Amino acid sequence: MNSKKPLALVTGATSGIGRAITYALADKGYEVIALGRSAATLEKMQTHAGVRPLALDLTDREALETALDGETIDVLVNNAGVMPPVTGFCDMAQSDIDTTLEVNLSAAIATTRMILPGMAARKRGHLFFIGSTAGQGPFPNMAVYGASKAAISSFASALRCDLSGSKVRVTEIVAGRVETALYRDVLSDRARSDMYEAFDAVQPEDVAEMLLSVLNMPVHVDVTRFDILPTAQFVGGGGFAKKDT
């Protein structure tokens, strides 16, 4: 399906950062393929002008390649990610380790491999990768999650070297604590409430606004990485100052 509008693909689009970015891009005149697993949620999102739902599992590479065949993607936002149980590595199930690495790392690389050749041939395009402060420094009980995000950071940096001179831009978004549903399945409602009550977290819309700012930079400018953290979050160690009352 060809479109006169620039076309973006956002993975993990049904909630949090992905949904905010999807709506922000659509509001700026992009047609946005919103990829997620929840067909019901995507159907509701379709009412937002410019949003085109794509319900499938990102790890089903054959289905994804078929769905994207013939599409001219101008912006790819590799946002889909999972948070494994927050626990010591020795207590992790192998299945949780495998899922984390598959979704957070392998699927992002595979999706990029499907989209990038077209961008390189057209000599235009922008790749975004959602990283994390957990990939930049150690956090307790998050060894595998941190490893997946550190690998994304390394991949984005090396890919940028490969694409030097191609006019295809690469940006890693290093997010600190953002108020999303990421911890929904691994922390209790009380624990999540206490976590966000202690400080003012970054909102998904803040990340989307920064992405638009980067995207709107002149084509000769590549913002290779930006960090977006709560004001209260320490840059090193992931600690937080107490919220003013």
**CATH code, domain with 137:** 3.40.50.720
- Per the structure, the count of domains in the chain is 1
Residues 95 and 236: their CA atoms lie apart, in Å, by 30
Assess if residue 243 is contained within a domain: no
Residues 129 and 44: their CA atoms lie apart, in Å, by 25
- Convert the pLDDT of each residue in 141-184 to its tens digit: 999 999 999 999 999 999 999 999 999 999 999 988 887 565 55
Measured CA to CA in angstroms, residue 10 lies from 96, 112, 146, 179, 245 at distances of 24, 12, 22, 19, 37
135 near 152, Cβ under 8 Å? yes
Residue 194: predicted pLDDT? 52
1 pLDDT tier (thresholds 50, 70, 90): very low
Assess if residue 82 is contained within a domain: yes
- Convert the pLDDT of each residue in 31-58 to its tens digit: 999 999 999 999 999 999 999 999 999 9
Domain residues for the domain of 32 are: 7-228
Please provide the average confidence, as pLDDT, over all residues in the chain: 89
Assess if residue 157 is contained within a domain: yes
Residue 232: predicted pLDDT? 77
- Convert the pLDDT of each residue in 89-108 to its tens digit: 999 999 999 999 999 999 99
Residue 178: predicted pLDDT? 83
Closest CA to 209 of 28, 35, 81: 28
Assess if residue 240 is contained within a domain: no
Residue 222: predicted pLDDT? 94
Assess if residue 36 is contained within a domain: yes
Residue % of the chain over a pLDDT of 90: 78
Measured CA to CA in angstroms, residue 224 lies from 5, 169, 173, 234 at distances of 25, 8, 9, 22
**C-beta contacts of 139-144 below 8 A and 24+ residues apart:** 139/238, 141/86, 141/87, 141/88, 142/86, 143/89, 144/84, 144/89, 144/92, 144/96, 144/97, 144/100, 144/101
199 pLDDT tier (thresholds 50, 70, 90): low
Catalytic residues: 145
Assess if residue 179 is contained within a domain: yes
Residues 149 and 131: their CA atoms lie apart, in Å, by 5
Residue % of the chain over a pLDDT of 70: 85
| Residue tagged 């600190």 (tokens) | 176
Residues 212 and 32: their CA atoms lie apart, in Å, by 14
Assess if residue 19 is contained within a domain: yes
Closest CA to 14 of 49, 53, 48, 62: 53
